[in-house]
Chain A
Amino acid sequence: MKSRPLLLAAIGLALLVGFPFVVANPYYIHLAQTIAIYAILLFGLDIVVGYTGQVSLGHAGLFGIGAYTAGVLFMKFGAPLLLTLVAGVAVTAVFGALLALPALRVTGPYLAMVTLAFGTIVQILINEMTDLTNGAMGITLQRPRLLGVTLDERGYYFVICGLLVASLVVVHRILRSHLGRAFEALRGSPVASDCMGVSVYRYKVYAFVISAGLAGLAGSLYAYSEKYISPNTWNFELTVLLLLAIIMGGRKTRSGALLGAAIIVILPKLLDDLDLFRTVSVTLAALVTAGAAVQVARGKTTVARSAIPVIGSVALAVLSFVLTSMTDWRLSIFGLITLLVVYYLQDGILGFVRQTLGWRGHGASDAAAAATLPPPASAVSTAASQPATSAAQDLVAADKVLMQFGGLKALNDVALHVARGTIHGLIGPNGSGKSTMMNVLTGIYVPTAGSIAFKGQSIVGRTSSRIALAGIARTFQNVQLFGEMTALQNVLVGLHHTYRSNLLDVALHLPRYLREERAATARAYALLKFVGLEDLAGEEARNLPYGKQRLLEIARALALNPELLLLDEPAAGLTAPDIKELVVIIRKIREHGITLILIEHHMDVVMSVCDVVTVLDFGQKIAEGTPAAVQADPQVIKAYLGGELDASAAH
């Protein structure tokens, strides 16, 4: 298993080192330099685009900041290469943190516009701050010196390649560690990340800072490589080109970034060579047409659906014979390629190859490896073993909770006291405020008024992630799993709090990180076993059947070592045998001393497992007591079944 990546890495390294000796032409060496620089930039961009799932149109600006940091330091102070590289990374990382500020509040198209505005401002400032940047004149650099030697094209190539390999290893390790899982969790479900103790705010900032740092490194390398930088390089087109490279190469893979970098550097050169371009576009059209024909013949797609890529690629081929110069139409061609890639090659070239050849991702092989680890002493932490506060005190004491949305009182003066070690049912008709109560308890909503104490301490106004870390875990009524991550990885996100390793531990694979990763993986696997999902550990969460997804949410919540577990309709959509299984699991969780609050519409489940049941209706508590007492309560019967308002029942 291990030998294939190692072999590939050795071949890759040999190619990198050998290239400038085989191809002595400085033009091609420079081209290779450019590809390597873009690859570093794309590793960073992929963290934001591929992993956290945000569209950044500001990376050309960050790239420019890196280049100008190097350029200005060189021009004003004649600073040496090493210093400018470090400064380039540091300065750009600071700007990345700035860019992350709006990213904390907005996502999607808003963030795209914000980052675009950022990139435009950077370009304007570079143009206008002539004292610092030489404005439109640009900055000319000389060949860099390292260790007293002036580096020639080949020497600088080796410097870049060294940094490329270093960034590759570091980025790869970060993204496969708990940090990378945190980034990916943000994309899957921000709310669930927060409720797993993974602060969305903090990890968004981390993602932008790391990404910007790499852009800065790439930028300062680029300044020396080109030996001349000017404001117009860092424009909108470059930004789009970078995004195209990521999606075309393949998101969430380092090899995809390398491939993407090669494509965007070589493609413009290709367009300059008309004959070559004609050959390539005809080949491409033939391939696409043949591919579509095969797909249609196999019944995988319809003629209508495959028509557009076929027409598109044929049109491109025809176009290449009509036009006498492709250079002017470069951007249109990039635009067309982007359209085709966005809709017909969503996982990029690498994703497509991987799918066709049936390669398994890291997720699956990691899960297989997890099964071989020695199991931990106990999968579920035993809450009783943790320092207990006085036994008489309620674990949760919420009083006079008011949650108001505009004029609607979703919770009106509700009190909820949950005794330690019990299973507390929370029932009521739809819209009675049960889920709102959950959201208030986990900090997703801040109550308008009232007090909530957990273990004797107020949690009102605390962030979701702090509340989660204090010991309240939850599942969600509409499942909030991290869809593109495997079952094992989902649980590992819940175990995020067990890691103490920092960036350095992760990047260098220091013993502390390796130890923590092993322990967490073994524990995650044991948790999957606890809910009976160990056979599906390597499966992506979105591919699991609905009932299994609910169980996976429970396993992920247990990973937090909670003292209180909130289950929001865990039986919804489950089949009868699944429900039986669920009841067994709920009982087992209680045996570990974990207190549960259970929202459920299946009355047989509620009545069989709960010690106390609270009934809500229209945001108010209408009854509380043992299941039997609640069942007999006339108010409850009225709330569920309706019924005439006779004079005696008037409220």
Chain B
Amino acid sequence: MEILTQLIFSGIALGMIYAVIAFGYQLTFATSDTLNFGQGDALMLGALVGLTLVGMGVNYWLMIPLVCVFGAIQGAVVERIGVRPALRIKSEFGWIMSTIALGIIFKNVAENVWGHDDLKFPSPLPESPIHFLGANVLPMEILVVVGAVLMMAAVELFNRKTIWGKAVVATFNDRDAARLMGINTGLVITFSYALSSMSAALAGVLIAPLTLTGSTMGAVLGLKAFAVAIIGGLTSGMGIIVGGIILGIAEKLTGFYLSTGYQDVPGLVLLLIVLAVRPAGLFGKTAIKKV
């Protein structure tokens, strides 16, 4: 029982990370119907840049905003190089391939800069667990949950309360109409990519102290977060949190009771099944196709 509670706690922390990355998918999908296939690599870059900053003596808490800025710039670059030309020629294949290509380039650059081996990320909080409901919880796990929720809440508030946020929501509802109303939709899309990569980079520095950091950490995380985005529905904010937590717990249970080698399987299988059965996700609405 104790083990189970503990697995559930660490599952929730992991699940929140998935939710943040999935949130990033939602942001870009909302404004431009596109996704960054290199989202996992944005997370990895965020974590590694954070590690370097910490290594240079920057305080962990001070490092977070710096990494966020880096993430935002990286996202804007992806949008300018990879997505905008494809949107101009209305090529779905184009943005899929170019975001994949950019992801590969980022990963390869990271390999060459930081090496092939996984690195330990120093924990900013005490590494001794706190006892809670009879289970051990790492302070870092609590930070992950809090950080993830704050991040998502901040973006939601921004979208709802500010005029800039209204432009984002307008672009989400109808890109062409928004453009005709004088909104610079191109800028909004760039902005959504910046936000998206920023949240991924933040997720990276949040999870890094719990796992190891390295150039390969992003790929599978990005894919499983996509599973979460699909399960939650690409338009539902609550859905991704629920989806993330379900997946996080499922993974921890699989890893403990079956084998850590199979840990990634539940998320991937879930993705296959959900897309084969209910593509709009558990929380999303099915779109009516028009002819």
Known: A332-B109, A335-B104. A120 touches B223 (CB 8 A): yes
- Per-residue 0/1 for A90-117: is the Cβ within 8 Å of any B Cβ (1 yes, 0 no)? 0000000000011011101110111011
Q: Which residues from chain A contact B94 at a C-beta distance below 8 Å?
A: 342-343
A116 to B93 alpha-carbon distance, docked (Å) = 15
Whether A114 lies near B275 (C-beta < 8 A) is yes
Whether A339 lies near B230 (C-beta < 8 A) is no
B110, chain A: closest CB distance, angstroms: 10
User: B138 an interface residue at 8 Å Cβ cutoff?
Assistant: no
Residue of B nearest to A237 (CB): B104
Q: Which residues from chain A contact B291 at a C-beta distance below 8 Å?
A: 191, 435, 439, 444, 476-478, 480
Q: Which residues from chain B contact A329 at a C-beta distance below 8 Å?
A: 108, 112
A346 to B81 alpha-carbon distance, docked (Å) = 16
B214, chain A: closest CB distance, angstroms: 15
Residue of B nearest to A111 (CB): B275
A329 to B96 alpha-carbon distance, docked (Å) = 22
User: A405 an interface residue at 8 Å Cβ cutoff?
Assistant: yes
B32, chain A: closest CB distance, angstroms: 12
Q: Which residues from chain B contact A477 at a C-beta distance below 8 Å?
A: 291
Query: Which residues of chain B in 241-291 are interfacial with respect to chain A, using CB atoms and an 8 Å cutoff?
Result: 259, 261-262, 264-265, 268-269, 271-272, 275-277, 279, 288-289, 291
User: B3 an interface residue at 8 Å Cβ cutoff?
Assistant: no
Whether A117 lies near B108 (C-beta < 8 A) is no
Whether A247 lies near B223 (C-beta < 8 A) is no
B262, chain A: closest CB distance, angstroms: 6
User: B85 an interface residue at 8 Å Cβ cutoff?
Assistant: yes
User: A236 an interface residue at 8 Å Cβ cutoff?
Assistant: yes
Residue of B nearest to A191 (CB): B291
Residue of B nearest to A57 (CB): B100
A331 to B289 alpha-carbon distance, docked (Å) = 39
Whether B98 lies near A339 (C-beta < 8 A) is yes
Choose the segment among A121-129, A143-151, A174-182 that binds chain B (4+ C-beta atoms closer than 8 Å).
A121-129
User: B107 an interface residue at 8 Å Cβ cutoff?
Assistant: yes
A330 to B102 alpha-carbon distance, docked (Å) = 14
- Per-residue 0/1 for B155-197: is the Cβ within 8 Å of any A Cβ (1 yes, 0 no)? 0000000000000000000000000000000000000000000
A168 to B89 alpha-carbon distance, docked (Å) = 32
User: B20 an interface residue at 8 Å Cβ cutoff?
Assistant: no
Q: Which residues from chain B contact A108 at a C-beta distance below 8 Å?
A: 92, 96
Q: Which residues from chain B contact A120 at a C-beta distance below 8 Å?
A: 220, 223, 264, 268
User: B68 an interface residue at 8 Å Cβ cutoff?
Assistant: no
Q: Which residues from chain A contact B279 at a C-beta distance below 8 Å?
A: 105-106, 110
Whether B93 lies near A105 (C-beta < 8 A) is no
Q: Which residues from chain B contact A439 at a C-beta distance below 8 Å?
A: 291
Q: Which residues from chain B contact A191 at a C-beta distance below 8 Å?
A: 289, 291
Q: Which residues from chain A contact B259 at a C-beta distance below 8 Å?
A: 128
Select one of B111, B230, B289 contacting A110, CB under 8 A: B230
- Name A's interface SS: helix
Whether B275 lies near A342 (C-beta < 8 A) is no
- Interface size on A (CB < 8 Å)? 49
- Per-residue 0/1 for A469-507: is the Cβ within 8 Å of any B Cβ (1 yes, 0 no)? 000000011101000000000000000000000000000
A346, chain B: closest CB distance, angstroms: 8
User: A582 an interface residue at 8 Å Cβ cutoff?
Assistant: no
Query: Which residues of chain A in 370-395 are interfacial with respect to chain B, using CB atoms and an 8 Å cutoff?
Result: none
A589 to B272 alpha-carbon distance, docked (Å) = 47
Known: A124-B262, A128-B262, A444-B291. A339 touches B223 (CB 8 A): no
Whether A124 lies near B265 (C-beta < 8 A) is yes
User: B70 an interface residue at 8 Å Cβ cutoff?
Assistant: no
Whether A128 lies near B261 (C-beta < 8 A) is yes
- Per-residue 0/1 for A392-422: is the Cβ within 8 Å of any B Cβ (1 yes, 0 no)? 0000000000000100000000000000000
User: B130 an interface residue at 8 Å Cβ cutoff?
Assistant: no
Q: Which residues from chain B contact A328 at a C-beta distance below 8 Å?
A: 108, 111-112
Which of B109, B269, B275 lies at the interface centre, i.e. has the most chain A CB atoms within 10 A of its CB?
B275
Residue of B nearest to A439 (CB): B291
Known: A105-B279, A328-B112, A342-B98. A55 touches B262 (CB 8 A): no
User: B105 an interface residue at 8 Å Cβ cutoff?
Assistant: yes
User: A336 an interface residue at 8 Å Cβ cutoff?
Assistant: yes
Whether A331 lies near B105 (C-beta < 8 A) is yes
B86, chain A: closest CB distance, angstroms: 8
Residue of A nearest to B81 (CB): A339
User: A118 an interface residue at 8 Å Cβ cutoff?
Assistant: yes
Q: Which residues from chain B contact A127 at a C-beta distance below 8 Å?
A: 261
Residue of A nearest to B88 (CB): A343
A310, chain B: closest CB distance, angstroms: 15
Whether A105 lies near B101 (C-beta < 8 A) is no
B37, chain A: closest CB distance, angstroms: 7
Whether B97 lies near A331 (C-beta < 8 A) is no
Whether B101 lies near A339 (C-beta < 8 A) is yes
User: A196 an interface residue at 8 Å Cβ cutoff?
Assistant: no
User: A334 an interface residue at 8 Å Cβ cutoff?
Assistant: yes
User: A240 an interface residue at 8 Å Cβ cutoff?
Assistant: yes
Residue of B nearest to A195 (CB): B291
B74, chain A: closest CB distance, angstroms: 15
A138, chain B: closest CB distance, angstroms: 16
Q: Which residues from chain A contact B107 at a C-beta distance below 8 Å?
A: 331
User: B219 an interface residue at 8 Å Cβ cutoff?
Assistant: yes
Whether B264 lies near A124 (C-beta < 8 A) is yes
Q: List 7 A-B contacts (CB under 8 A).
A: A105-B279, A110-B279, A112-B96, A335-B103, A335-B104, A342-B93, A343-B86
Apart from A104-B276, A118-B272, A334-B104: 16 A-B pairs, beta carbons within 8 A: A55-B96, A105-B277, A108-B96, A124-B264, A124-B265, A191-B289, A237-B104, A240-B104, A328-B112, A331-B107, A335-B104, A339-B98, A342-B98, A342-B101, A477-B291, A478-B291
Chain B residues packing against A (C-beta within 8 Å): 34-35, 37, 81-82, 85-86, 89, 91-94, 96-98, 100-105, 107-109, 111-112, 219-220, 223, 226-227, 230, 259, 261-262, 264-265, 268-269, 271-272, 275-277, 279, 288-289, 291
